[in-house]
Structure 1
């Protein structure tokens, strides 16, 4: 029996999640129709633009993404504390970028003089919106529904566009996070859609490389802030240069169509996470095949099972590869 989404996403366990959404008309999300020759590549731009816009509205950060021909990957970080720090006015202004809200919330944002009961109703609405703006299910809904409607109008049809609900995986530790991000960023190379990570259109790695050339990080993406230390700022606990080097080298091996070998001594991230080069290549190219709803090293999975009173452990193959 599938695990309810409410049990799959728990910020107390981890703020990081890998989400995948697939198109029910598989070849026609963004690719080319082999029968008619019609191109749908422009829809990848729709998805990327919407995705980055939502990151500016929600209290959810984008760590990695890849918009493929018939599906999309995104690694998300939930910032629950940021959502709690927003004032009622800020919550309503953010929500109104997505929806009209209610008459009272519109009046509240305009600064109209409201009776006490109307202020209470506006504040109650803001509390509900605050929860939604830190909710992955709402994030994916606000991403997928507009794209589906727009594509259906273009295709002159109705019905489902996405293949059921999105898939979600909890990334319990740094090893799982790093492996999943690399897997997402390398998706176009594995699919022969590009030759190098930096040439992979509609991916986070291309956006990061482009910004790195200007000696800065893209504002729309969750930043790399370096290795763990005291007074750690908000961001990914790795060095950007280390990550890009790891992805670049892994990508070269993938594109050479051979198993290859990575010298772990040359890559600080693999050294720090204590992942063997052989295991890294396996998990970075077969992440979805090797993992279930919960991904992490053995101690992370043990802690997860204990806190959720689960006697049956999730798939352990990922724990072995991340060891």
Structure 2
């Protein structure tokens, strides 16, 4: 039986999560349906546009994403500090980009006077919006529902387009985050949808590569801050160039027509994470098969399970891939 979402997401333990949404009824999200020959490639733009729009509205950052033929992967970071720093008016303005809100919040957003007898109701609505704007379930709802409506309209049918629940995995440490990101970024190559990361359309890795060519990083994605970690409010504590090279080399290993290996310069990340080259290849090739629950070292998994009062540390044996450096 599926666990309630509240038992899977714990901000106190980690702000990082891997989510997966899959289509039902053999529906095709993008690409060409081999059964009918119909192309749904234009839906990639639907997903990416809505995803990047939500990143500007929610207090949730995107670290990695990929849109596959019948599912999509995201690596997300909940920025609870940002949500708490917003003023009441900013919270309402963010929420109104997605929903109409109430008559009270509409008046408040326009700067109109709200009667004292209605202040309690207004404060309750604002607190509710602030909580939702840092909630992964609401983020995924606002991503998936518009796509489902457009796809059903195009397919001239009704009913569910997505599975009832999206899959959510807690990423408990840096090793879990980096390996999951690389797994997500390499999905098109494993599926033979692309030859190289830079040719993987509508993905975070392509966006990072394009921005890196002009010495920048995508504003819509969590930045790699490397040695500048002490001068940055948030980010991934590794060099962007090291990560891009590591993903590129791993992509070559996955391709049957290429000889690939992990170079000394790229292995700096693996040394920092204390992951062996063999385990890195295993993790980034089979992450989805190895882990079906929270991901992290044995100690991190133990802390997570104890905090959430889980009696058993499910999937603890999989931790060895993140520990045998």
**Same-fold status (TM-score > 0.5):** yes
Runs of 4+ in 1 over 6 A off after TM superposition: none
Shift of 1:101: 0.4
**Mapped contact 1:264–1:271 kept (Cα < 8 A):** no
Shift of 1:134: 0.3
**Mapped contact 2:246–2:266 kept (Cα < 8 A):** no
What secondary structure does 1:26 align onto?
Answer: coil
Task: State the partner residue of 1:193.
Answer: 193
Task: State the partner residue of 1:278.
Answer: 278
**Mapped contact 2:17–2:169 kept (Cα < 8 A):** yes
Q: Please list the CA deviations of residues 225-275 of structure 1 after superposition, one character each: whole Å capped at 9, or x if unmatched.
A: 115965653111211111111101001111136896435664211010110
Task: State the partner residue of 1:318.
Answer: 318
Shift of 1:222: 1.0
Unpaired segments ≥5 residues, structure 1: none
Judged with a 3 Å threshold, the aligned counterparts in structure 2 of structure 1 residues 121 and 255 are, in CA distance, closer, same or farther, namely same
Inter-partner Cα distance in structure 1 for 2:306 and 2:257: 41
User: Are 2:14 and 1:21 aligned?
Assistant: no
Superposed, which structure 2 residues align to 1:1-323 within 5 Å?
A: 1-226=1-226, 230=230, 233-256=233-256, 261-263=261-263, 266-323=266-323
Q: Please list the CA deviations of residues 58-89 of structure 1 after superposition, one character each: whole Å capped at 9, or x if unmatched.
A: 00000000001100000000011110111110
Shift of 1:213: 1.0
Shift of 1:292: 2.0
Inter-partner Cα distance in structure 2 for 1:175 and 1:228: 19
Inter-partner Cα distance in structure 1 for 2:27 and 2:193: 14
What secondary structure does 2:226 align onto?
Answer: coil
**Mapped contact 1:261–1:277 kept (Cα < 8 A):** no
Inter-partner Cα distance in structure 2 for 1:272 and 1:176: 13
Shift of 1:312: 1.6
Residues matched between the structures, number:
323
Inter-partner Cα distance in structure 1 for 2:258 and 2:318: 22
What secondary structure does 1:28 align onto?
Answer: coil
**Mapped contact 2:252–2:259 kept (Cα < 8 A):** no
Give me the TM-score of the superposition, normalised by structure 2: 0.95
Inter-partner Cα distance in structure 2 for 1:254 and 1:102: 52
**Mapped contact 2:186–2:197 kept (Cα < 8 A):** yes
Inter-partner Cα distance in structure 2 for 1:271 and 1:24: 41
Unpaired segments ≥5 residues, structure 2: none
Inter-partner Cα distance in structure 2 for 1:158 and 1:243: 42
Shift of 1:195: 0.3
Inter-partner Cα distance in structure 2 for 1:49 and 1:58: 14
Q: Please list the CA deviations of residues 12-46 of structure 1 after superposition, one character each: whole Å capped at 9, or x if unmatched.
A: 01000000000003342112122332100100110
Q: Please list the CA deviations of residues 185-219 of structure 1 after superposition, one character each: whole Å capped at 9, or x if unmatched.
A: 00000000000001100100000111111111111
**Mapped contact 2:229–2:235 kept (Cα < 8 A):** no
**Mapped contact 2:252–2:258 kept (Cα < 8 A):** no
